[in-house]
């Protein structure tokens, strides 16, 4: 199914000069803006941005050459101090780029140029290969899936918890590329996201344990989500067990839950779609309040609520 060009989600990660397709304006996604530290910050105490170094996120511009040193005949001699002199247009450097935009610090704030940039890896983050296991911990809270892992098959997220934990139930609050916010949860909530979709992006279910699955054919419709757990009876949970995310290729990303503070609701994991790659991050934060407060704490503030646990749908 080819998306309508007028409504198709933007792809700021592939700013290719096309000759057979219609041009579309570059538009960084809010999630990318947020993680790069350029967007609004969610109103809570710590920093949920994955620790990907900000400079490595802006690869749309080739490693900016310094302004052309003025009269130097060998314009490639970079050992010279980059004196911001008036460039002389005799050098072999491409001067079509205004010199004012050359310093990378300011270049990051400008709109990404649609220049021919090498298709580089955006994140220098931990990866996980098929069949491998990666543990999310306080010191290594993130794993990034490749674009293939993020776009083939489905991603399964399962709360492997024994009954001793209590009546733990799983859910997720999500934001689609259209800006739509809501929640998906098996227990007493909406099982599909978007609700009433013929082919949902997110699906909540229960077999041996509660689980969520993401249809990765539609990953481009998804912007971000946060996986939460809550006690159905609102009695404090004795946190334990493990949240396991399994890729289509069988890689397992595991998040032990023992270290959570006592409470009835906790945000366990967040997933951001960054340039087509899923960044999976441990959050592990017990929330005072209920699902509504958890959603608000993570910036999903465009939801209207029927009560403290269920959105108006």
Q: Which residues bind other proteins (CB under 8 A)?
A: 1-3, 5, 8, 11, 14, 16, 20-22, 118-119, 129-130, 146-154, 198-199, 203, 213, 215-220, 247-250, 276
Residue placing its CB nearer to other proteins in the complex, 155 or 229 = 155
Least distance in angstroms from the C-beta of 164 to other proteins: 28
Residue placing its CB nearer to other proteins in the complex, 6 or 109 = 6
Task: Report how far residue 227's alpha carbon sits from residue 218's, in angstroms, rounded to the nearest whole number.
Answer: 18
Task: Report how far residue 182's alpha carbon sits from residue 44's, in angstroms, rounded to the nearest whole number.
Answer: 19
Let me know if 310 is exposed, middle or buried by CB neighbors in 10 A (0-12, 13-18, 19+): middle
Let me know if 233 is exposed, middle or buried by CB neighbors in 10 A (0-12, 13-18, 19+): exposed
Least distance in angstroms from the C-beta of 27 to other proteins: 14
| Cα 148–chain centre separation | 15
Residue placing its CB nearer to other proteins in the complex, 51 or 250 = 250
Q: What is the DSSP string of 216-265?
A: GGGGGGEEEEEEEEEETT-PPB---SEEEEE-TT--EEEEE-TTSPSBSE
Least distance in angstroms from the C-beta of 22 to other proteins: 7
Least distance in angstroms from the C-beta of 150 to other proteins: 6
Residue placing its CB nearer to other proteins in the complex, 13 or 58 = 13
Residue placing its CB nearer to other proteins in the complex, 215 or 285 = 215
Asked whether 192 and 283 are in contact (CB, 8 A), the reply is no
Residue placing its CB nearer to other proteins in the complex, 18 or 306 = 18
Beta-sheet pairing, 133-135 with 252-256: parallel
Least distance in angstroms from the C-beta of 217 to other proteins: 4
Give me 45's structure tokens.
């105490």
Least distance in angstroms from the C-beta of 128 to other proteins: 10
Task: State phi, psi for 32 to the nearest 5 degrees.
Answer: -65, -40
């Amino acid at each position: 199914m080819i998306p309508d060009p007028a409504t198709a989600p933007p792809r700021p990660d592939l700013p290719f000069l096309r000759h057979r397709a219609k041009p579309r304006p570059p538009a960084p996604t809010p999630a990318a803006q947020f993680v790069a530290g350029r967007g609004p910050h969610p109103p809570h105490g710590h920093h949920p941005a994955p620790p990907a170094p900000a400079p490595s996120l802006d690869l749309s511009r080739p490693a900016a050459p310094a302004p052309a040193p003025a009269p130097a005949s060998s314009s490639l001699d970079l050992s010279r101090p980059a004196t911001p002199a008036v460039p002389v247009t005799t050098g072999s450097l491409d001067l079509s780029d205004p010199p004012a935009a050359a310093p990378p610090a300011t270049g990051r704030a400008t709109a990404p140029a649609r220049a021919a940039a090498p298709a580089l890896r955006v994140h220098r983050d931990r990866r996980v290969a098929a069949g491998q296991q990666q543990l999310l911990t306080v010191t290594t809270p993130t794993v990034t899936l490749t674009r293939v892992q993020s776009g083939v098959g489905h991603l399964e997220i399962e709360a492997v918890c024994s009954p001793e934990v209590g009546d733990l139930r799983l859910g997720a609050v999500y934001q689609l590329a259209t800006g739509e916010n809501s929640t998906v949860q098996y227990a007493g909530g909406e099982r599909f996201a978007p609700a009433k979709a013929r082919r949902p992006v997110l699906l909540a279910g229960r077999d041996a344990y509660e689980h969520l699955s993401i249809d990765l054919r539609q990953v481009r419709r998804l912007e971000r989500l946060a996986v939460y757990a809550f006690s159905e009876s609102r009695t404090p949970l004795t946190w334990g067990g493990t949240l396991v995310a399994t890729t289509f290729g069988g890689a397992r990303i595991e998040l032990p839950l023992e270290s959570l503070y006592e409470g009835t609701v906790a945000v366990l994991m967040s997933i951001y779609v960054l340039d087509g790659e899923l960044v999976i991050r441990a959050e592990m934060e017990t929330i005072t309040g209920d699902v509504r407060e958890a959603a608000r704490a993570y910036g999903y503030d465009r939801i209207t609520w029927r009560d403290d646990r269920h959105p108006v749908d």
